[in-house]
Amino acid sequence: MFELKTITLFLITAVAEIAGCYLSYLWLKEGKSIYLLIPAALSLALFAWLLSLHPTAAGRVYAAYGGVYVFVAILWLWGVDGIKPTNWDVVGVSVVLAGMAIIMFAPRNV
């Protein structure tokens, strides 16, 4: 159950971070409304708060979260940007998710 809760929290956290960054990108690079910065800031604040909800050491959470972020970013590439991931993207995501699982779920005595 801990694993499912952790992964779900990571996924929601990644969406909040990517959405906040994407909205800022739309304003900076695509000439969209400056008002996009309001939901962008809220989304990035949500991202920071969500990262604080994990019960383990912050450094470990940040390291493992990076793997989930890469996975969600590739899904975003496909779903939002309309660019199908390559086989190399899939291999890379597999590697980082394996790393995330090792970091978060390896047995520990501490």
Distance CA 76, CA 42 (A): 19
- Residue 55 has a pLDDT of 73
Query: What does the domain layout of the chain look like in residue ranges?
Result: 2-105
* Model confidence pLDDT, tens digit, residues 42-74: 999 999 999 888 777 678 888 888 999 999 999
C-alpha angle 30-48-31 in degrees, rounded to nearest 5: 10
- DSSP character string of 46-99: HHHHHHTT-SS-HHHHHHHHHHHHHHHHHHHHHHTS--PPPHHHHHHHHHHHHH
Neighbours of 109 (CB within 10 A): 3
> Tokens 């050491």 belong to which residue?
57
Encode pLDDT of 33-48 as tens digits: 999 999 999 999 999 9
What percentage of residues in the chain have a pLDDT greater than 70? 98
